[in-house]
Homo-oligomer: A and B are copies of this chain.
Amino acid sequence: MPAIDRSSTTDRVARALREMLFSGELSPGEPLREVSLADSFHVARSTVREALQVLTAEGLVTRAPNRGVTVTELSEQDIAEIFEARLVLESAGVRAGAAGADLAPVARALTTYAEAARGDDPVEATHAHLEFHTSVVALLGNSRIVASADVLTADLRLALASVERQRRNARQQVADHRALLTLMRSGDAAAALAELERHLATARLSVTERVRPS
C-alpha cells in the first residue's frame, strides 16, 4: 500500500522551488515573481506567497519590502560565516562521536556518499556529502542543533548549485570523511577535531574560489 501524500499545496510549491534552487535552475540574485510563479505552478498567488515565506525563513531567498524576493546571494563573508558556524556545530558532534556515541548512522551516511560520489549525478553527490555532515551533528541527539545545521547546509547548497558540476577528486573527499570517522571511532577527540577543522577549511577555500573566481 503506497503512502498517501498529505502535504499541502504550499509545501509542494516550496519543495519544487527548493529543488530548482539546489539544481541551479534559479541563479542567485534572480527575482521570483509571484504572479509568474502562480501561473506556472497553476496555484493561487497567496499559495506562492506562503511558499516563498517558508523559503525566506530558511534563508534560501531574500525578501526586499515592496520589491519581492530574489534568490539569496551569498557574499564571501556569508560563506565564511557558514563554515565557521558549521565548525562550531560539527565540532560538538565530533566530540560526542569520539566520546562514544553510536557511529553507525555516520558509517551508513559515508557508504551512501561513497556510492553517490561514484555516480554521475552531482546534485545527488552533494546531497549525500552534506548528509554525512548532518549525521555527524546528529550524534548529539539534539533535534534543534540538527535543524540549525540543516539551515546552514541548505544555504551552502545554494552557493554550490551554480558550480557543483565541476566536481573534482571525489575520491579524495570520500577518503577525508572516512578518516574523520576512523578518528572518532578511535576516541581521539583532539585528532578528530583537528581533522574536521582541516577538512572544513579546505572545503571553504574550494567553495570560495569557485563562487568568486579570483
Contact = CB atoms under 8 A, between A and B. Distances in A.
Interface string A136-158: 00001011110010011000000
A85 B137 CA distance: 11
- Dominant secondary structure at the A interface: helix
A172 B144 CA distance: 30
Interface string A28-52: 0000000000000000001001100
Interface residues of A, number: 24
Contacts of A50: 49-50, 53
A54 interface: yes
A205 interface: no
Contact of A144 (B8, B85, B140): B85
Given A50-B50, A53-B50, A53-B54, A88 B92 contact: yes
A142 to B, nearest CB: 5
Interface string A104-145: 000000000000000000000000000000000000101111
A145 B54 contact: no
A93 B143 CA distance: 21
A156 to B, nearest CB: 11
Contact of A81 (B46, B84, B142): B142
Given A54-B57, A81-B142, A152-B144, A8 B65 contact: yes
Q: Would you list the 8 A-B pairs with minimal beta carbon distance, nearest first? A: A57-B57, A148-B148, A88-B92, A85-B144, A81-B142, A85-B145, A81-B144, A84-B142
17 contacts: A6-B65, A46-B46, A57-B57, A81-B142, A81-B144, A81-B145, A84-B140, A84-B145, A85-B144, A85-B145, A85-B148, A88-B88, A88-B89, A88-B92, A144-B152, A148-B148, A148-B151
